[in-house]
Amino acid sequence: MKKKLYLSAPLPFVGQKRMFAREFMKVLDQFPDDATFVDLFGGSGLLSHITKRCKPNATVVYNDFDNYRRRLENIPRTNRLIADIRAIVGNAVPRHKAITGDLRERIFKRIQQEERDNGYVDFITLSSSLLFSMKYVLNSVEMQKETLYNNIRQSDYTPCPDYLSGLKITSRDYREVFEEYKNVPGVVFLVDPPYLSTEVGTYTMYWRLSDYLDVLTVLTGHSFVYFTSNKSSILELCEWIGKNKSLGNPFDGCTKAEFNARMNYNATYTDMMLYKQHVDSAA
């Protein structure tokens, strides 16, 4: 029986590449059918899944850093939880309107019961039913700080035991995975890192510019498929560096002074001043 090809992830995940799915399939055609593909930032596993379906003889390594597979395993429990929440709300709150008062309290009691009885709640999937569009939290404490909305899914998520079939699954820092496979002949790296300076989806890191640039070191000398966005300006930055190769680091030898500033009760930032006195060698 031919295995199902998913063109979007079975459960919500910010940053999944469903809009690129068909174009990605075309890109895969240029690589050998028996190549080794390493999905360094596996996320929802969609890129790994499509690669294995398109190239069944390939070795596909899915770095499930976010433990997406646990969410998939718990789809039946998640469906029951959402069904119970759907019953609690009923017709009392119009679609996309805020859930307040007693209904809100009853929802959290049901969520806490799920945590207590089963030890696990898929808060990311739950967020898509109860929070404002595209907003996700990772635990009950964070969810209780948010306004709940009646965006409750009206049908069950479909269990998908074959979604990750055939993949070699690991869950490690991408640098470790890269080190393991960097010398494999003909290896192809799938590189879809978090967006610059943001916490996107469920990737539990805050990415600075240096982190983002570090990822680029895996591209040199290897075949790759790399994803970014115009928000990161990473291509513009690399083009500028390419044109100014002799610049070096203009801040070498500088002294840095910092001042912690506050915009409001929950938003802070750091002002920095760097200074260096230039000594004219001709003087």
Given a contact cutoff of 8 angstroms between Cβ atoms, the answer to whether 112 and 176 are in contact is no
Please give the span between the terminal C-alpha atoms of the chain, in angstroms, as a whole number: 81
- Is residue 263's pLDDT more than 80? no
Backbone angles phi, psi at 45, to 5 degrees: 80, 5
- For residue 111, is it within any domain? yes
179 and 191 co-located in one domain:
yes
Which position has the higher pLDDT, 80 or 191? Answer: 80
Task: Give CA–CA dist 160/27, Å, rounded.
Answer: 26
Amino acid 205: pLDDT: 54
188 and 239 co-located in one domain:
yes
Q: 168 is written with which tokens?
A: 């070699």
Three-state DSSP state, 8: coil
Share of the chain above pLDDT 70, in %: 82
Indicate the range of 36-45, 124-133, 180-189, 257-266 predicted with least confidence: 257-266
**pLDDT band at 255, cuts 50/70/90?**
confident
Amino acid 8: pLDDT: 93
223 and 94 co-located in one domain:
no
Using alpha carbons, select from 160, 133, 165, 157 the residue that is nearest to residue 147: 133
How large is the average pLDDT for residues 234-245?
Answer: 76
- For residue 63, is it within any domain? yes
Given a contact cutoff of 8 angstroms between Cβ atoms, the answer to whether 179 and 222 are in contact is no
91 and 228 co-located in one domain:
no
**For residue range 116-132, what is the model confidence (pLDDT) as tens digits?**
999 999 999 999 999 99
**For residue range 189-228, what is the model confidence (pLDDT) as tens digits?**
999 887 654 444 445 555 677 787 888 888 888 899 988 7
Q: 279 is written with which tokens?
A: 């000594």
CA atoms within 13 Å, Cβ hemisphere of 137:
17
Task: Give CA–CA dist 115/119, Å, rounded.
Answer: 5
Within 8 A by CB and 6+ apart from 162, the residues are 3, 4
Structural domain boundaries, residue 140: 70-149
**pLDDT band at 264, cuts 50/70/90?**
low
Scan for tokens 């060698």, then name that residue: 281
Task: Give CA–CA dist 211/253, Å, rounded.
Answer: 22
116 and 238 co-located in one domain:
no
How large is the average pLDDT for residues 258-273?
Answer: 64
Using alpha carbons, select from 155, 157, 215 the residue that is nearest to residue 190: 215
Which position has the higher pLDDT, 251 or 123? Answer: 123
How large is the average pLDDT for residues 28-36?
Answer: 95
Cα dihedral across residues 123, 124, 126, 130: positive or negative: positive
In sequence order, the β-bridge partners of residue 39 are: 62, 190
Average pLDDT over all residues of the chain: 86
The CATH number of the domain where 61 resides is what?
3.40.50.150
- For residue 131, is it within any domain? yes
Domain count, the chain: 2
**pLDDT band at 230, cuts 50/70/90?**
low
